[in-house]
Each structure stands twice: as C-alpha cells, then as structure tokens.
Amino acid sequence: MYKIFMLIALPIIGIGWIGYAIWIHKIRKEEKTQPKQVSQRLSKTRSEVLNWAQKMKEHKSPREQALERRRKLEAQRLREERKKQSESEN
C-alpha cells in the first residue's frame, strides 16, 4: 500500500513543484517589464533628503564664514590703499 501511495504521490509532487517554478518565473518576468511603483512616503522621503543635501552643500561653517569675511575686508582695504596711492600720485 505504501509503495503504491509513494509511486503516485512523488510524481504528483514533482509535477507540482515544476509547475510552481514555471509560474514564479512568469510572474518575475512580468514584474521586470512593469515600472517600479514608488510610494508617496518614499518619494516624500527622497525629496526631503535631497533638500537636506542641498542645504548641507550650501552650508558654511563658522570658520569658513570668518575666512570669507576676512578676505572681503582685506580686498576692501587693498582697494582703498590703491585708491589713496592713485590720488596721491595725481
């Protein structure tokens, strides 16, 4: 009895697994051709991260700000000195 059951059950189980593998393969193939769906939450998070990255790109540390101010003051001082020299020469 057991032998008969195994002779019938094993081929049926094997055919089932083969059918299942073919079915999964077809589904994966169809999913590859369709565009990926992006959820609202994911798109919102992406835009927030992009905004944050842009802000960080534009951000200057206090040291950089101080150096920039010093350069501007130095450039302004040099312009004034040149202006005074050109006026004294004339």
For residue 23, give both structure tokens: 């079915």
Strand, coil or helix: what is 59?
Answer: coil
Once rounded to an integer, what is the mean pLDDT over residues 23-30?
96
Taking only the tens place, the pLDDT of each residue in 41-60 is 999 999 999 999 999 888 88
- Asked if 60 and 68 touch (Cβ cutoff 8 Å), the reply is yes
The pLDDT confidence band at residue 21, using thresholds 50, 70 and 90, is very high
- Closest residue by Cα to residue 39 from 30, 47, 28, 51: 47
Q: How far is CA 7 from CA 14, 17, 18, 20, 83, in A?
A: 11, 16, 17, 21, 106
Percent of the chain with pLDDT over 70: 99
DSSP state of 74: H
